[in-house]
Amino acid sequence: MNEDLEEGIKSVTGFQEGSMPFRYLGVPIQTGRLSKKNYSALTEKMVAQIRGLGAKKLSYSGRVVLINSVLNTLHNYWAQLFIIPKSVIKRIEAICRNYLWDNSPDYHRVPLVAWDKVTMTKQEGGLGINKAEVWNIATVGKLVDWIYTKSDRLWIRWVHNVYLKDKDWHEYVPPNDATWVWKHICKVKEKLKDGFVDGSWVSHPMGYSIRRGYEWLKPVQAPQPWQSIVWNNWNTPKHSLISWLMLQGGMNTKEKLHKIGYYSDDRCILCDSMPKTIDHLFSSCVYSCKVKHILENWIGNNLPTISHLAASITNSV
């Protein structure tokens, strides 16, 4: 339109002329693919949450709750709007991992337990934190499902008229000159292909959802027989996580820190008689034995040692 008409519309409506990119509902809006720089708003917001008031005062169990309820929620919101690049996904996982083990978004300490183990469900021996990369694929899978079911949405109608043109979506292969976004959606379709039969998600009668797609994509591990002992209503979250760390061999005992040069020796600082291993700390140390004896007299019953309990659990696995 000419300049006079444009000025007339602005004067009548009170609108102001803007430019792209701009921010709407907390996310950048532009016509093309977002660059890595555009995603800095997401990672910076996650870092700001970590550095916020009280975030550094949480225990391990408290940090797990914050990661699931706050940090992953931020990622989930963006994942439903954009296809997040792998480099940004790795940065998101690094922020969550560093915060869990070091109270900081930056890398300072070696993780006590591998991230692949942490992102397993509690039944499988993990902490139940979502794996960001798999969750992002499952989120894009929602678009794949809409195309399968021909959802009554303007974008889906456009896809069927411009890209598919009555072609079979199940067997569709994108052309070489297709956009990056469309090629990525087609790659996700191939990963979820076995889950769709005749256009319907066969793994659940209620159809596809992001959570069901995530559980379908994630490698399934055998349930651990000790999970009900560690995670139950009788244990406080802090004690449950300490027990979980013990069973994963992730506690920073003096014996472990001596191997990486943090201490000059590995002797127990309480009894100074043996290396301070997990077994010694909870069972063999004379101070541990005294505490155990006091508890047995108090409850009027013998208690199994932590080492025997851990051994029986490990052997049952």
Tens-digit pLDDT profile for the chain (317 aa)?
Answer: 788 898 899 889 988 888 877 777 778 887 777 777 888 888 888 888 888 755 567 888 888 888 888 888 888 888 888 888 888 999 999 999 998 888 888 877 788 888 888 899 888 888 989 898 899 999 999 999 999 998 899 989 999 998 888 889 999 998 888 888 889 999 999 999 888 888 788 877 788 999 999 999 988 888 888 788 888 888 888 888 888 888 887 777 767 776 767 777 777 777 777 777 777 777 777 777 787 778 778 877 666 555 555 555 555 44
**Please, which contacts does 302-310 make with residues 24 or more away whose CB atoms are closer than 8 Å?**
306/246, 306/279, 306/282, 307/279, 307/282, 307/283, 308/283, 310/246, 310/247, 310/278, 310/279
Is 203 found in the same domain as 142? yes
Is 143 part of a structural domain of the chain? yes
Is 209 found in the same domain as 155? yes
Where does a domain end: 217, 238, 271? 217
Specify burial of residue 234 (Cβ count, 10 A radius: 0-12, 13-18, 19+).
exposed
Please enumerate in sequence order all residues whose Cβ is within 8 A of that of 125, keeping only pairs 6 or more positions apart, or say none.
117, 221, 224, 227, 248
pLDDT in tens, 192-218: 988 888 878 887 778 899 999 999 998
Is 284 part of a structural domain of the chain? yes
What's the rounded Cα separation, in Å, for the pair 83 and 180? 10
Structure pTM?
Answer: 0.77
Structural domains counted in the chain: 2
Is 211 found in the same domain as 145? yes
Is 65 part of a structural domain of the chain? no
Residue 5 in tokens: 């008409």
Where does a domain end: 217, 238, 270? 217
Is 86 part of a structural domain of the chain? no
The whole-angstrom distance between residue 87's C-alpha and the CA centroid of its chain comes to: 15
Is 19 part of a structural domain of the chain? no
Q: How many CA atoms lie within 13 A of 29 on its CB side?
A: 8
Q: How many CA atoms lie within 13 A of 195 on its CB side?
A: 25
What's the rounded Cα separation, in Å, for the pair 139 and 211? 9
Beta carbons within 10 angstroms of residue 208's beta carbon: 24
Is 207 found in the same domain as 269? no
Is 144 part of a structural domain of the chain? yes
Is 257 found in the same domain as 209? no
Task: Assign residue 111 a region (left: φ > 0; alpha: ψ between -120 and 50; beta: otherwise).
Answer: beta
- Identify the residue whose tokens are 């000419």: 2
Residue 284 lies in domain: 252-316
Is 274 found in the same domain as 213? no
Is 62 part of a structural domain of the chain? no
In order, the DSSP letters of 173-216 are ---TTS-HHHHHHHHHHHHTGGGEETTEETT-TT---HHHHHHH
Is 246 part of a structural domain of the chain? no
Is 210 found in the same domain as 263? no
